[in-house]
């Protein structure tokens, strides 16, 4: 927006309001603006409003994020970094740095170790070759020691989900079989081999008792009446 | 990148922008948390000098996403329109918990009448700011409240420097127009 106008009217003055508030006007422009504002109440009012708005906005405070929100963000980041699967960039970078540190540490150790190797055994090897030889020996030793106890790789989430489904199915199947077995036990074993023989024995002994005492037989209601009463 | 140091340095900028842009404390907290998580995930790929502008860009995009969700959920109006604060904010305000520091802006004014006028002016100004359409609202928050340089705003919004100047100029004009409509004699002495 051009600051210098030939005819310094209200439009020209309004164009200078913001540069004036920003302190960007030259002394000449400042003087022309002041002259115009002295004779134009509308522009003076506009400048006053612009100043108030500017001041009001700048008086609005910058706000600190509540600590609990930051704590939640940190916790979520930590949770995320602990999740299996593709690690975030930060975790990858941290892993790379840790790997490099580990590499440097082991390299210095191996170099120290190579210097103490008896020279008559490896007479013509350079330090690098000595390190390689030591690494190879260590690798072989690790393979020998760890081979029988090597742990299987961790299952993937899909494998875990499938195994969970299969385990649930197996448990449900076992539950069903158990219920059937229990029912069969009740029906076949208890009823056939325990309840029915006991009932028969009881019935026989009752008949013998009742046969010996006709008065008692008259006092006891018939079996159909007892069943009717139990149902009611 | 030291994540904790980056959070300590930029959390205020992120939260302030989200707070004034969304006019909701709860939503500003959600956006801040989301932005910080993105910083955790992608911070290592960002050049340290560009971290501030990157965060401001991500924050504004997160605010846009939230406004879209708000609109899709049958809630309030989105970018460029006025909207009510969320129910949680209204309840919190009613209960007096977590009082907004901006409510006490004018407490430094010695005269009670002047204080009331200033508080009223600040409230209307915030309302007018929230009713500004984009991109004027974003650039004015960055320029006037967060006091970012034009160059920083240009980098944050990925727009040319001259465009930033034009947006700020028009934004100020629109804000004055709204204040003039809202308060015919808006100036506070």
A127-136, A192-201, A210-219, range with the lowest pLDDT: A210-219
Rounded-to-integer distance, Cα A3 and Cα A157, Å? 67
How many CB atoms are located within 10 Å of the residue A122 CB? 14
Q: Are A157 and A84 a contacting pair, CB within 8 Å? A: yes
Å from B147 to nearest chain A CA? Answer: 8
- Tell me which chain B residues have a C-beta less than 8 angstroms from the C-beta of A72: 33
For the question of an ipTM over 0.85, the answer is no
Contact yes or no for A73 and B179 at CB 8 A: no
pLDDT digits over A152-183, tens only?
Answer: 677 888 888 888 877 887 787 778 788 888 88
Q: Which residue in A24, A56, A72, A86 has the most chain B C-beta atoms within 10 A of its own C-beta, making it the best mutation to test that interface?
A: A56
Residue A149: the pLDDT is 56
Across the interface, of A61, A90, A92, the residue whose CB is closest to B101 is: A61
For residue A57, which residues of chain B lie inside 8 Å, CB to CB?
A: 125, 129, 140, 144-145
Residues with Cβ within 8 Å of residue B148, at least 6 apart in sequence: B56, B142, B156
Compare all CA atoms of chain A with the CA of B38 and give the residue at the minimum distance. A77
Of chain B, the percentage scoring pLDDT greater than 90 comes to: 29
* Confidence band of B122 (pLDDT split at 50, 70, 90): confident
**What integer pLDDT is reported at residue B32 of this predicted model?**
92
Measured between alpha carbons, how far is A95 from A83 in angstroms, rounded to an integer? 14
What's residue A209's pLDDT?
A: 77
Taking CB atoms and an 8 Å cut-off, how many pairs form between chains A and B?
A: 113
**pTM of the full predicted structure?**
0.55
Answer whether A90 sits within 8 Å of B44, measured CB to CB: yes
B163: pLDDT strictly greater than 90: yes
Higher-scoring residue by pLDDT: A163, B137: B137
Average pLDDT of the residues in A19-36: 86
CB nearest to A69's CB, from B4, B29, B101? B29
Q: How far is A39 from chain B (nearest CA, A)?
A: 19
Residue B20: its chain A contacts at CB < 8 A?
A: 60
How close A65 gets to chain B, by Cα (Å)? 6
* pLDDT at residue A213 is higher than 50: yes
Average model confidence (pLDDT) across chain A = 74
The distance of A22 to chain B (nearest Cα, Å) reads 11
> To the nearest whole angstrom, how far is the Cα of A55 from the nearest Cα of chain B?
9
Please tell me which of A34-43, B44-53, B57-66 the model is most confident about, judged by mean pLDDT.
B57-66
For B131-158, give one letter per residue: b (16+ CB within 10 A) or e: bbebbbbbbbbbbbbbebeeebbbbbbe
Residues of B in contact with A61 (CB under 8 A): 101-102, 105
pLDDT of residue A226: 60
CA nearest B39: which of B31, B22, B27? B31
Residue B2 pLDDT > 90, yes or no? no
Across B151-175, average pLDDT: 91
- Helix axes of B51-72 and B150-157: crossing angle, nearest 10 degrees: 60
Q: Which residues of A touch B121 (CB under 8 A)?
A: 52, 56
Calpha distance B144→B172 (Å, rounded):
10
């Amino acid at each position: 927006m051009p600051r210098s106008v030939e005819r310094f009217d209200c439009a020209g003055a309004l164009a200078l309001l913001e540069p004036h508030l920003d302190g960007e006007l030259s002394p000449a422009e400042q003087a022309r603006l002041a002259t115009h504002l002295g004779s134009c109440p509308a522009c003076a009012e506009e400048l006053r409003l612009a100043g108030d708005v500017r001041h009001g906005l700048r008086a609005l405070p910058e706000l600190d994020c509540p600590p609990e929100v930051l704590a939640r963000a940190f916790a979520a980041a930590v949770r995320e970094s602990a999740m299996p699967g593709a690690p975030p960039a930060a975790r990858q970078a941290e892993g790379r740095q840790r790997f490099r540190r580990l590499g440097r540490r082991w390299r210095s150790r191996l170099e120290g170790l190579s210097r103490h190797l008896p020279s008559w055994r490896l007479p013509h090897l350079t330090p690098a070759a000595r390190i390689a030889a030591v690494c190879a020996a260590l690798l072989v030793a690790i393979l020998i020691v760890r081979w029988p106890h090597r742990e299987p790789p961790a299952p993937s989430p899909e494998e875990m989900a499938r195994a969970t489904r299969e385990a649930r199915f197996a448990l449900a199947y076992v539950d069903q079989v158990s219920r059937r077995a229990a029912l069969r036990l009740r029906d076949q074993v208890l009823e056939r081999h325990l309840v029915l023989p006991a009932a028969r024995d009881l019935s026989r002994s009752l008949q013998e008792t009742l046969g010996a005492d006709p008065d008692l037989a008259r006092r006891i209601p018939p079996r159909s009446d007892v069943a009717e009463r139990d149902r009611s | 990148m030291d994540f904790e140091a980056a959070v300590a340095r930029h959390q205020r900028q992120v939260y302030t922008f989200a707070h004034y842009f969304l006019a909701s404390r709860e939503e500003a907290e959600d956006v801040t948390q989301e932005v910080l998580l993105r910083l955790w995930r992608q911070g290592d790929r960002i050049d340290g000098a560009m971290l501030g502008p990157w965060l401001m860009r991500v924050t504004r995009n997160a605010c846009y996403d939230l406004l879209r969700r708000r609109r899709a959920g049958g809630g309030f109006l989105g970018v460029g329109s006025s909207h009510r604060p969320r129910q949680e904010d209204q309840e919190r305000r009613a209960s007096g918990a977590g009082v907004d520091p901006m409510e006490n802006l004018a407490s430094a004014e010695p005269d009670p009448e002047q204080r009331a006028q200033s508080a009223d002016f600040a409230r209307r100004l915030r309302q007018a700011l929230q009713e500004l359409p984009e991109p004027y609202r974003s650039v004015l928050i960055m320029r006037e409240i967060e006091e970012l340089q034009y160059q920083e705003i240009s980098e944050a919004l990925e727009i040319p420097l001259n465009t930033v100047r034009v947006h700020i100029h028009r934004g100020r004009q629109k804000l004055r127009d709204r204040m003039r409509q809202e308060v015919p004699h808006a100036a506070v002495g």
